[in-house]
Structure 1
Amino acid sequence: MTISNEAKPRRPQVCVLGSAEPGSKAYDLAAAAGELFAKLGITLVSGCGSPATRVAAERALAAGGTVVSIIPSDDINTENWPCTVLIPCGMGDARNLLMALAGDACLVIGGRAGTISEVCLAWLHHRPLLPLEGCGGWSDQLEKNPPDERKNSPILPWSSVESLEERLRSLGLV
């Protein structure tokens, strides 16, 4: 058997940020987004710290996708974590910068204070933002109220799996 030294092109990566509770429309759309990423060959990057980000990772894995989890802990032996690759950063909330930088774009679902910090870091580092609209949380207001006036990156809202796929295609990630 011959092993090739040629590097394969890197698959697109999208970070999933935010929060939503089971039973909500946002939670269901997070799950559907995870499946979509797997179908499209996009690596899902998540901290899996909220029910929404966790279900997105679980559904991506169930659909045969790749999931990278960047967790705040320093424990590599974390059990029951939905991922293909686990990166324990040992940095607590400072992990938010890694989350912001690890994607070609950032999917934003609902969100609270941690999500806001990740979104602002992604914005400062020119990562396109894909906020879920119509389901509550900070992502609902992102297009009308961006982090600041600089227009660092596109803000492309979505409200269905079909519109999310259109946004991913417009960014050249598919």
Structure 2
Amino acid sequence: MTPTHRRPQVCVLGSAEPGSKAYELAGEAGERLARLGLTVISGCGSPATRVAAERAQLAGGVVVSIIPGADSPEPDWPATVVIPCGMGDARNLLMALAGDACIVIGGRAGTISEVCLAWLHHRPLLPLVGCGGWSDSLPQNPPDERRNSPILPWHSVEALEHQLGALGLLHLPSPSNTPSP
């Protein structure tokens, strides 16, 4: 029997409104993550995180959605797996820990909370830059001076893919290279 390997997981954090460049890039990022074989973690609570999940699903990807409430969302929720945690805003810790890296798009207070938690737990941060919002300032203003994890900015899905490669998240082991037990 050939052992299976966990797909790398990437969280999509943040917020951006429909019609904005950041929103469009969020959708493109979700689709690219799926096409690269990465699992997308998204709360789907903001337009940007929801469009990333929708586009990832349309591309055939796996989407895990960790939602703050205790009840399952409506049937059209854009996720392969839904985890209603019943923790409210404390859910932000689960989001921060669920990814091997965290993409940050725009953002408000909830996003800042998730970013700080990801930083404390040494998760690489990939902020979208050049589109406005809080993520624009993250490369020059990390959460603190500790340099807990890399901050790798991106401005296009090609740049995002390059940063994911730099983190080693794109080189999945192939079954032919896996030793048999």
Q: TM-score, normalised by structure 2?
A: 0.92
Once the two structures are TM-superposed, the CA of residue 148 in structure 1 deviates from its matched residue by 0.1
- Which SS does the other structure have where 1:30 is aligned? helix
Gaps of 5+ in 1: none
Aligned in 2, Cα 1:133/1:148: closer, same or farther, shift over 3 Å?
A: same
**1: CA distance, partners of 2:72 / 2:50:** 18
Identity %: 77
Is 1:72 matched up with 2:60? no
Partner of 2:126: 130
Once the two structures are TM-superposed, the CA of residue 7 in structure 1 deviates from its matched residue by 4.2
Partner of 2:115: 119
Once the two structures are TM-superposed, the CA of residue 76 in structure 1 deviates from its matched residue by 2.7
- Which SS does the other structure have where 2:94 is aligned? helix
Once the two structures are TM-superposed, the CA of residue 75 in structure 1 deviates from its matched residue by 0.8
**Structure 2 letter corresponding to 1:114:** G
Deviation track 1:117-166 (CA, whole Å, cap 9, x = no partner) reads 00000000000000000111110000100000000000000000110000
Partner of 1:154: 150
- Which SS does the other structure have where 1:45 is aligned? strand
Partner of 2:50: 54
Aligned in 2, Cα 1:77/1:19: closer, same or farther, shift over 3 Å?
A: closer
**1: CA distance, partners of 2:41 / 2:74:** 17
Once the two structures are TM-superposed, the CA of residue 77 in structure 1 deviates from its matched residue by 5.2
**Structure 2 letter corresponding to 1:41:** G
Q: TM-score, normalised by structure 1?
A: 0.96
**1: CA distance, partners of 2:4 / 2:11:** 21
Query: When the two structures are aligned, how many residues end up with a matched partner?
Result: 170
Partner of 1:32: 28
Is 1:12 matched up with 2:8? yes
Once the two structures are TM-superposed, the CA of residue 78 in structure 1 deviates from its matched residue by 3.6
Once the two structures are TM-superposed, the CA of residue 79 in structure 1 deviates from its matched residue by 3.0
Gaps of 5+ in 2: 171-181
**Structure 2 letter corresponding to 1:155:** I
Aligned-CA RMSD value: 0.9
Select which of 127, 139, 142 maps to 2:135: 139
**1: CA distance, partners of 2:144 / 2:75:** 39
**2: CA distance, partners of 1:57 / 1:126:** 24
